[in-house]
Amino acid sequence: MSSEFNIGRKNKNNSSDFPNPFARVTDTTCRECHHKIKREKLVEELQVCPECGFHMPMHPYDRIATLVDEGSFTEFSQELTSLNPISISGYEEKLTQARGKAGLNDAVVTGIGSIDGRQTVLGVMSFQFMGGSMGSVVGEKITRAILKGADEGLPVTLVTASGGARMQEGIFSLMQMAKTSNAAALLDGLGIPLFIVLTHPTTGGVTASFAMLGDVSIAEPGALIGFAGQRVIEGTLKEKLPEGFQKSEFQLKKGFVDMIVPRAEMRKTLSFLLKTHESESKGWMSR
Amino acid sequence: MSSEFNIGRKNKNNSSDFPNPFARVTDTTCRECHHKIKREKLVEELQVCPECGFHMPMHPYDRIATLVDEGSFTEFSQELTSLNPISISGYEEKLTQARGKAGLNDAVVTGIGSIDGRQTVLGVMSFQFMGGSMGSVVGEKITRAILKGADEGLPVTLVTASGGARMQEGIFSLMQMAKTSNAAALLDGLGIPLFIVLTHPTTGGVTASFAMLGDVSIAEPGALIGFAGQRVIEGTLKEKLPEGFQKSEFQLKKGFVDMIVPRAEMRKTLSFLLKTHESESKGWMSR
Amino acid sequence: MDESVIQSKIEEIKVLAEKENINISKELDHLKAKYAPSSEDTWEKVLLARNIDRPNTLDYINLICDDFVELHGDRHFGDDPAMIGGIGTINGQAVTFIGHQRGHNMKENIERNYGWAYPEGYRKALRLAEQAEKFHRPVVTFIDTAGAYPGVNAEERGIGEAIAVNLKKFSVLKTPIISFIIGEGGSGGALGIGVSDKIYMLENSIYSVISPEGFASILLRDAERAKEAAEIMKVTAQDVDEFGIVHGIIPEVPGGAQIDPAFTAEEIKKTILKDLKALMSKTPNQLIRYRSKKIREIGHVNENNAKVQDLFGIFGKVFGRS
Amino acid sequence: MDESVIQSKIEEIKVLAEKENINISKELDHLKAKYAPSSEDTWEKVLLARNIDRPNTLDYINLICDDFVELHGDRHFGDDPAMIGGIGTINGQAVTFIGHQRGHNMKENIERNYGWAYPEGYRKALRLAEQAEKFHRPVVTFIDTAGAYPGVNAEERGIGEAIAVNLKKFSVLKTPIISFIIGEGGSGGALGIGVSDKIYMLENSIYSVISPEGFASILLRDAERAKEAAEIMKVTAQDVDEFGIVHGIIPEVPGGAQIDPAFTAEEIKKTILKDLKALMSKTPNQLIRYRSKKIREIGHVNENNAKVQDLFGIFGKVFGRS
Ligand SMILES: [Zn+2]
Ligand SMILES: [Zn+2]
């Protein structure tokens, strides 16, 4: 477990001691264009490759730092950890490894923060933690986050990154799709907005549940967004994939995302959405 | 004006003297396969060609007779006639001619009848009357029929046949699309069913309004159903029309009609729908 | 004091101002436009309504809004570039904008399909309207199309159904809707985003059930007689206003809105702000009842030789007594 | 008295009846099936669940309903033959049926795309479910798919979005929903019509987050180890029932439902009638609250080493106190 991570963990309910943004970032070679990038440059660019524009996966705490007002974030449900519901051998060890590697208890961080003074519940997934897969903990934390918004009348913003369901939890992981989608239905019934930010990659059971249920859906450029895996489509069905298949730009053209927003403008965009969805504007209307 | 027609007109509010079904039918040559058909055979076959199955346009009174329980139909708004809202020269004369030819005041007959004892508001269009075009009278009568259903809690069944908006009424004919669709919205809000029977041909402004707003949509076999005219698509845009384009079977495949029902089974099908949409079944549920 | 007197007074002031080297020409142009007599020539209006330089939906949005974010897609099939939409703020008030989008040149027009929208365009419009309803944002639509796209693909994906559903759902949408016909308002494709609480036509816009060319070819049996058809059909803003179908006419500078887009944009903006003030004081039920009644009253019929309106008492049943 | 004792008693009676030439063998077969011990072999169940002769959705509808009318289309793009639906009556009660449709031979399977539905299939399912809701008809769904179609076209038309919207909307649909997994219940494609008040699995059906083959190839790194994967994943009706995820198991005759479809159909029919009696006495709010709570409780987590359920008091807020 890295020392940067411990800073965050120790002071988990004390937002002023939020872990240093990008403390975990190191010199990196871009996976897309193989350009070498110094740590300082990468931090400055919010982990976007200055050469090819690839938006690299981010640690949830780093992402949160780029989105919320400084010191405004309070995490909740941080101590939630997984059991082994279908008794898969090796799952506990895998979880322990992932915790150490990602510096998180599971694949999502949830809390409340504000953007330009407007509060939102915020859930940010981590692709580093077992491929961002959704098991009982991710399902429960996303559900709690959405219901927290419902309960407190706060907009909910979820930043997705996931390979899909966590197969090690068998049928229980499938059910998290229903659980998170039901939470979205309840939020919808109260007329409270759900904003979804789709980042690279968002696939499988997360795409087929809450990730596609945003009132407004924003994608980062070049993110892979889809349900079926590309290898399944190519392999099993021998279909040739069209150019740019399942990328953000493809999903925009196909009508499934509202806009593509570069990481550097994400905060500003969310701020505008929070402003234009404010509940004061309801005043004139009886429900 | 034919004598058969006068029978119906004279006794307009007396359902027991409903005009003799098929009194207007004569020996005919099928327009599709050029098969010659004797009057008796044609009546027996409900004006469906026994050779090629073409479902010929029917006079509204004939169609009503094939659908409702004998003696159960009472017409309303029969006296509604058109004005000349944009002062088109020759429109009044055209209307007078059409009245004589079709034996109707305008292109739709509306009333209340029952099928196997279950009441429904019924509106049946006539393609013979100026191509079933929708002007102020058709718009008003369809709207009244739908609102009658809303007012009395009765299901509404509309049998369409139309070339589209009545251009002689200019912008007023366009507005009938909004009017009939608004009526459908109000009916929908009360949870009362709207059943649509699409017959040959149903196109233009009628397709782009109430004809596509059925809770259940039934098409007769081989009916042309579409928005843009085939000549417009072929002529203006030089697009080649696919086989069976805009026919019932095409619309079924494209997902816009629930089922294709031959004329001989239409009454039975509507009866089943009226039964399974009965309001008693609401008893268990608070609204 | 009639319009021609005002016009000549304005010209006098302009000459004086120029002599004194005072730059008030822009303000004077506006004043002039406001009191300019409308062109009497119907065909000239048809041509102006279709003018490629005429401000389009995004032009007006950019001139009117403090900020605007475009939203894309119908969530079913695609994103139609001929129909755009998004959220903007006008003097801080959030508004959902929806409109047909035409181009200013060949390249843009090919990209935008000349403002002929596909079913997915109308479904995007409805999605954004329902999003606005959910969050109690008013809706402003800009109508600028010769019609829905009359092509094989549009038919295959149900252009008739898409328009019909919009007519139905916009007519009972629980949030204020204000529409502006900014160019050509053609047929069901125009009406598909045109069922509203308030609808205005720009001075040189047209609104018709079919294009003059179509009318000519069908009823006059000669497509060349479009000019004549336009007269017969009564398609100008002034005609349609006289029929009581729109709520008013938005002025343009002489020669058309393309000469001074900002002037017309400002007029549109003022109209939106004024109407929103009135509409936002109403309950959703009041809005829908008014909107339904207004639609319900359009048409010319008689019954036993008397002009009739018969509401069947249904509005009470649908809306309660509020 | 355990099952094997019952079985031998049944055999005794059968022999007696045959001697006396009394034809009660069918009744006895059913009795036998009801008390037959389940096969202990997981892979056998997987193969039975996929058996091409196994009764499919339309088979059960025809066996259960007095009358049935199929309804088609999603009103947006197409009619998906892999997902069927319509209105039927059971002892006079109108019910909306929805289900994946597989074929019994190659030709039918090609026509039905092997029960792999496209987005338009899921959207048709939702349309019919919302139609049922509007007219207060209960919904019965039959789940029988290896999964949603994993192809380019399905992705292009938003298979993920279509399933997600179904999960959301079925979970708060204001009418009773009863589901039966009749064969293979594979992944999101199964769940897409599987969010219900009551869900049952047929004795030889399976329910899983991914196919055993997929699990084997990803987690066991060998697609050939599917048999082993099926054991590890715990996919049988008996496993899933033990997890508390379904409400019960519907019996089949020994050897599988294809041997006596009428027997299983009758069991399904009895279950529907019994459940409808209970569910139709509830208000829509009660239904949704129960459905939401049931979904909400599925999952195994701990917090500070204690097993938790935390409802945030939200249900009161959403549903009121009724
Ligand atoms: Zn790069
Ligand atoms: Zn024939």
- Residue, of D37 and C252, whose pLDDT is higher: C252
- Residue, of C249 and D318, whose pLDDT is higher: C249
Give the whole-angstrom CA distance, residue D277 versus residue D289: 18
Q: What is the pLDDT of residues A36-55, one digit of tens each?
A: 999 999 999 999 999 999 99
| Residue D304, domain member (yes or no) | no
**A13 has a chain D CB within 8 A of its CB:** no
Interface contact flag, B191 D135, Cβ < 8 Å: yes
Question: What distance in angstroms lies between residue B36's CA and the mean position of ligand 2's atoms?
Answer: 8
Q: Are residues D287 and D182 in the same domain?
A: yes
With cut-offs at 50, 70 and 90, classify the pLDDT of residue D313.
low
Mutate to test the interface with C, among A192, A249, A284 (most CBs of C within 10 A): A284
Interface contact flag, C94 A275, Cβ < 8 Å: yes
Beta bridge partners of C145: C185
| Residue D168, domain member (yes or no) | yes
* Partner chains of B (3+ C-beta pairs under 8 Å): C, D
Ligand nearest to the CA of A41: 1
Question: Are C161 and C118 within 8 A, CB to CB?
Answer: no
Give the whole-angstrom CA distance, residue C86 versus residue C98: 7
Counting the structural domains of chain C, the total is 2
Q: What percent of chain D has pLDDT over 70?
A: 83
> Mind telling me how many Å the CA of A81 is from chain D's nearest CA?
5
Q: Are residues D58 and D9 in the same domain?
A: no
- Chain D residues 258-317 with a CB less than 8 Å from chain A: 291-292, 295-296, 298-304, 307-308, 310-314, 317
Write the DSSP symbol of residue A55: B
Domains of chain B, residue spans = 59-285
b or e along D168-204 (b: 16 or more beta carbons within 10 Å of the residue's beta carbon)?
bbbbbbbbbbbbbbbbbbbbbbbbbbbbbbbbbbbbb
| Dihedral angle sign, alpha carbons of residues B36, B42, B47, B50 | negative
Question: What distance in angstroms lies between residue A54's CA and the mean position of ligand 1's atoms?
Answer: 5
| Residue D146, domain member (yes or no) | yes
Give the whole-angstrom CA distance, residue D232 versus residue B75: 69
pLDDT for the residue numbered B275: 96
Give me the residue label for tokens 């429960």: A140
Ligand nearest to the CA of B49: 2
Question: Are B170 and B86 within 8 A, CB to CB?
Answer: yes
Interface contact flag, C312 B184, Cβ < 8 Å: no
**D50 has a chain A CB within 8 A of its CB:** no
Q: List the single residue in D with minimal CA-CA distance to A252.
A: D156
Q: What is the pLDDT of residues A239-280, one digit of tens each?
A: 789 989 999 999 999 999 999 999 999 999 999 999 999 865
* Partner chains of A (3+ C-beta pairs under 8 Å): C, D
> Mind telling me how many Å the CA of A142 is from chain C's nearest CA?
22
Q: Are residues D2 and D150 in the same domain?
A: no
Give the whole-angstrom CA distance, residue D45 versus residue D42: 5
With cut-offs at 50, 70 and 90, classify the pLDDT of residue B22.
confident
**AA letter at D124:** K
**A208 has a chain C CB within 8 A of its CB:** no
pLDDT for the residue numbered C5: 61
Question: Are C98 and C142 within 8 A, CB to CB?
Answer: yes
Interface contact flag, D303 A228, Cβ < 8 Å: no
With cut-offs at 50, 70 and 90, classify the pLDDT of residue D26.
low
pLDDT for the residue numbered A283: 37
Give the whole-angstrom CA distance, residue A208 versus residue A228: 10
**AA letter at A96:** T
Containing H/E element for B66? helix B60-67
Question: What distance in angstroms lies between residue A40's CA and the mean position of ligand 1's atoms?
Answer: 16
Give the whole-angstrom CA distance, residue A217 versus residue B122: 44
Residue D112 token pair: 């039905």
Q: Which of D82, D93, D26 is nearest to D56 (CA)?
A: D82
Question: What distance in angstroms lies between residue A24's CA and the mean position of ligand 1's atoms?
Answer: 19
Q: List the single residue in C with minimal CA-CA distance to B227.
A: C160
Task: Please tell me which of the candidates C187, C245, C317 has its beta carbon nearest to residue B150.
Answer: C317
Residues in CB range of D307: below 8 A, 6 or more apart: A83, D300, D301
Q: Are residues D23 and D168 in the same domain?
A: no
Burial of D137 (0-12, 13-18, 19+ CB in 10 A): buried
Phi, psi angle pair for D246, to nearest 5°: -115, 165
Calculate mean pLDDT across residues D39-67.
94
Interface contact flag, D158 C76, Cβ < 8 Å: yes
Q: What is the 3-state secondary structure (H, E, C) of chain D?
A: CCHHHHHHHHHHHHHHHHHCCCCCHHHHHHHHHHCCCCCCCHHHHHHHHCCCCCCCHHHHHHHHCCEEEECCCCCCCCCCCCEEEEEEEECCEEEEEEEECCCCCHHHHHHCHHHCCCHHHHHHHHHHHHHHHHCCCCEEEEEEECCCCCCHHHHHCCHHHHHHHHHHHHCCCCCCEEEEEEEEEEHHHHHCCCCCCEEEEECCCEEECCCHHHHHHHHCCCHHHHHHHHHHHCCEHHHHHHCCCCCEEECCCCCCHHHCHHHHHHHHHHHHHHHHHHHCCCCHHHHHHHHHHHHHCCCCEEECCEECCCCCCHHHHHHCCC
Strands A118-125 vs A156-162: parallel, antiparallel or unpaired: parallel
> Mind telling me how many Å the CA of B182 is from chain D's nearest CA?
18
Interface contact flag, C164 B148, Cβ < 8 Å: no
Residues whose beta carbons lie less than 5 angstroms from ion ligand 1 = A 30, 32-33, 35, 49, 51-52, 54
Through-space distance between the first and last CA atoms of chain D, rounded to whole angstroms: 45
* Partner chains of C (3+ C-beta pairs under 8 Å): A, B, D
Q: List the single residue in D with minimal CA-CA distance to B274.
A: D94
Question: What distance in angstroms lies between residue A37's CA and the mean position of ligand 1's atoms?
Answer: 9
Interface contact flag, D161 C75, Cβ < 8 Å: yes
Residue C207 token pair: 């609104």
Given a cut of 60, whether residue D208 has pLDDT beyond it is yes
Interface contact flag, B246 C219, Cβ < 8 Å: no
- Residue, of B284 and C4, whose pLDDT is higher: C4
Interface contact flag, D69 B277, Cβ < 8 Å: no
| Residue D316, domain member (yes or no) | no
Interface contact flag, C209 B256, Cβ < 8 Å: no
H helix intervals, chain A = 3-10, 39-44, 60-67, 91-102, 136-152, 170-189, 204-207, 230-237, 248-253, 266-276
Q: Are residues C29 and C145 in the same domain?
A: no
| Residue C163, domain member (yes or no) | yes
Q: Are residues C56 and C122 in the same domain?
A: yes
Does domain B59-285 sit in CATH 3.30.420.40?
no
Task: Give CA angle at B286 (B280, B287), nearest 5°.
Answer: 95
Q: Are residues C15 and C128 in the same domain?
A: no
Give the whole-angstrom CA distance, residue B13 versus residue B219: 30
Other beta carbons less than 10 A from residue B281's beta carbon: 17
Q: Are residues D15 and D135 in the same domain?
A: no
Q: What is the pLDDT of residues D134-176, one digit of tens each?
A: 999 999 999 999 999 999 999 999 999 999 999 999 999 999 9
pLDDT for the residue numbered A24: 86
pLDDT for the residue numbered B10: 34
Mutate to test the interface with C, among A187, A269, A285, A286 (most CBs of C within 10 A): A285
Task: Please tell me which of the candidates C72, C89, C94 has its beta carbon nearest to residue A252.
Answer: C72
Question: What distance in angstroms lies between residue B57's CA and the mean position of ligand 2's atoms?
Answer: 13
Q: Are residues C15 and C62 in the same domain?
A: no
Interface contact flag, C72 A258, Cβ < 8 Å: yes
- Residues of chain C contacting residue B204, judged by C-beta atoms under 8 Å apart: 188
| Residue C308, domain member (yes or no) | no
Question: What distance in angstroms lies between residue A36's CA and the mean position of ligand 1's atoms?
Answer: 8
Beta bridge partners of C66: none
pLDDT for the residue numbered C305: 74
pLDDT for the residue numbered C53: 97
Chain centroid, CA C13 distance in Å: 34
Give the whole-angstrom CA distance, residue A21 versus residue B76: 75
Give the whole-angstrom CA distance, residue B98 versus residue D314: 64
How far CA C146 is from CA of A26, C181, C205, C293, in Å, comes to 57, 12, 12, 28
Tell me the pTM: 0.92
Containing H/E element for C94? strand C93-100
- Residue, of A150 and B2, whose pLDDT is higher: A150
Interface contact flag, A272 C67, Cβ < 8 Å: yes
Interface contact flag, B281 D137, Cβ < 8 Å: yes
| Residue D106, domain member (yes or no) | yes
Give the whole-angstrom CA distance, residue C83 versus residue C88: 16
Give the whole-angstrom CA distance, residue A66 versus residue A27: 19
Burial of A215 (0-12, 13-18, 19+ CB in 10 A): buried
How far CA C75 is from CA of B109, B218, C122, C125, D61, in Å, comes to 40, 27, 12, 11, 32
Chain centroid, CA D145 distance in Å: 10
Q: List the single residue in D with minimal CA-CA distance to B155.
A: D135
With cut-offs at 50, 70 and 90, classify the pLDDT of residue B8.
very low
With cut-offs at 50, 70 and 90, classify the pLDDT of residue D107.
very high
Q: Are residues D29 and D42 in the same domain?
A: no
b or e along A173-207 (b: 16 or more beta carbons within 10 Å of the residue's beta carbon)?
bbbbbbbbbbbbbbbbeebbbbbbbbbbbbbbbbb
| Dihedral angle sign, alpha carbons of residues A61, A67, A71, A74 | negative
Phi, psi angle pair for B182, to nearest 5°: -65, -40
- Residue, of A158 and C318, whose pLDDT is higher: A158
Task: Please tell me which of the candidates A182, A188, A212 has its beta carbon nearest to residue D295.
Answer: A182
Residue C277 is part of which domain span?
38-292
**A286 has a chain C CB within 8 A of its CB:** yes
pLDDT for the residue numbered B24: 85
- Three-class SS state of B206: helix
Task: Give CA angle at A221 (A218, A224), nearest 5°.
Answer: 85
Q: What is the pLDDT of residues A197-239, one digit of tens each?
A: 999 999 999 999 999 999 999 999 999 999 999 888 887 667 7
Q: List the single residue in D with minimal CA-CA distance to B286.
A: D283
Question: What distance in angstroms lies between residue A200's CA and the mean position of ligand 1's atoms?
Answer: 14
Strands A194-202 vs A156-162: parallel, antiparallel or unpaired: parallel
Q: Which of A165, A157, A167 is nearest to A138 (CA)?
A: A165
Q: Are residues C120 and C254 in the same domain?
A: yes
Question: Are C219 and B181 within 8 A, CB to CB?
Answer: no
How far CA B58 is from CA of B23, B26, B160, B200, in Å, comes to 12, 12, 11, 10
Other beta carbons less than 10 A from residue D93's beta carbon: 17
Give the whole-angstrom CA distance, residue D69 versus residue B258: 10
With cut-offs at 50, 70 and 90, classify the pLDDT of residue D1.
very low
Q: Using CA atoms of B228, B234, B237, B242 in order, give the dihedral in degrees to the nearest 10.
A: 90
Task: Please tell me which of the candidates A172, A232, A240 has its beta carbon nearest to residue D300.
Answer: A172
Residue D192 token pair: 């897409």
**AA letter at D65:** C
Ligand nearest to the CA of A52: 1
Q: List the single residue in B with minimal CA-CA distance to D73.
A: B255
Given a cut of 60, whether residue B220 has pLDDT beyond it is yes
Q: What is the pLDDT of residues B45-85, one digit of tens each?
A: 999 999 999 999 999 999 999 999 999 999 999 999 999 99
Is chain C in touch with chain D: ≥3 Cβ pairs within 8 A?
A: yes
Ligand nearest to the CA of A50: 1
Interface contact flag, D157 C77, Cβ < 8 Å: yes
Given a cut of 80, whether residue D240 has pLDDT beyond it is yes
Question: Are D82 and D115 within 8 A, CB to CB?
Answer: yes
Q: Are residues D237 and D134 in the same domain?
A: yes
Which residues in chain C come in under a pLDDT of 50?
1, 312, 321-322
Range of lowest pLDDT (A83-92, B139-148, B158-167, D311-320)? D311-320
| Dihedral angle sign, alpha carbons of residues B113, B116, B120, B125 | negative
Q: What is chain B's alpha carbon radius of gyration, rounded to the nearest angstrom?
A: 18
Give the whole-angstrom CA distance, residue D184 versus residue D214: 14
Write the DSSP symbol of residue C191: H
**B142 has a chain D CB within 8 A of its CB:** no
Q: Which of D217, D259, D260, D209 is nearest to D234 (CA)?
A: D209
b or e along C109-139 (b: 16 or more beta carbons within 10 Å of the residue's beta carbon)?
beebbbbbbbbbbbbbbbbbbbbbbbbbbbb
Beta bridge partners of B259: B218
- Per the prediction, chain B carries an average pLDDT of 90
Q: What percent of chain A has pLDDT over 90?
A: 83
- Chain A residues 102-131 with a CB less than 8 Å from chain D: none
Is chain B in touch with chain D: ≥3 Cβ pairs within 8 A?
A: yes
- Three-class SS state of B265: helix
